[in-house]
Amino acid sequence: MPEGNIIHRLARVHHRWLVGRQFSADSPQGRFTQDARRLSGRTLVGVEAHGKHLFHHFEGGVHLHLHLGLVGNIRHFRCAGPPPSTACRLRLASPHATLHLSGPQRCELLSPEAEADLRARLGEDPLRPEASPSRAFEALRRGLAPLATVLLDQTRISGVGNILRAEALFLARLPPQLPAAELRPDDFERLWTALRELLEDAARDGRIVTPHAPPNALTLPGRRREDRFCVYDRVGQPCPRCATPITRLSLSGRGLFFCSRCQAHRRGRR
């Protein structure tokens, strides 16, 4: 599933490239036909990202909400574009820019009020300028679940996925299984800074490169070689700090990668 950096990158690209253009809209797949008619002929006036959610604001107060989920994909064309596939949920077309959306988890039209209600239920997004670190800190500390678990709760911090939680916890030298209620202010400050910097760099560059990640972090066929991680998906490989083999555990059905030495859970952290 795309993490917040990808969605913010899409929002920035769409803001530069698409805002101010008038689009025709249709649903080749047929599942969005009625709402596509409402969009057709409208001008895009703004684009925003909040965590893993993307919002396109069209004239007349019509807002398009997208959540790509696990298999969603947006294809971009600097022209009218080729014929869409039969899986295309929504096509936004103009003579100079066209989007084909397929496989989204959510594709819906919202009123401005409905969008505001949805975003009020989301956690703080480290990439948004109005994000409140203090609210994020208090949200993370609710309950006794492990810190690695609550980091994936989008109602606490928005935009963090499995890769970002692993790399940010490593950079902050925090044990993934630390009870979130035991998180101290100085721990959180390191974690928030790591998340914000990883997200910002990845949104700008289009790839996640963790500071101090080894150049050969991903060398297996089929992997994204431009991404470079310190711990994520590097089980058994040496930690960049201490050379301890990276550990993998299963937590809430997701792979959890960390250094058992650098990120050791020590009691009495309150």
Residues whose CB falls within 8 Å of the CB of residue 190, separated by 6 or more in sequence, listed in order: 171, 172, 173, 174
The residue written with tokens 């988890």 in the block is: 105
Q: Is 52 a catalytic residue?
A: yes
State the catalytic residue, choosing from 9, 28, 48, 52: 52
For residues 67, 70, 72, 77, the Cα torsion angle rounded to the nearest 10 degrees is: 110
Contact 44, 20 (CB under 8 A): yes
* CA separation for the pair 118, 180 (Å, rounded): 25
State the catalytic residue, choosing from 3, 48, 124, 167: 3
Contact 126, 111 (CB under 8 A): no
* CA separation for the pair 128, 160 (Å, rounded): 13
Helix (H) or strand (E) holding 189: helix 185-205
Q: Is 3 a catalytic residue?
A: yes
Neighbours of 189 (CB within 10 A): 13
Catalytic site positions: 2-3, 52, 254
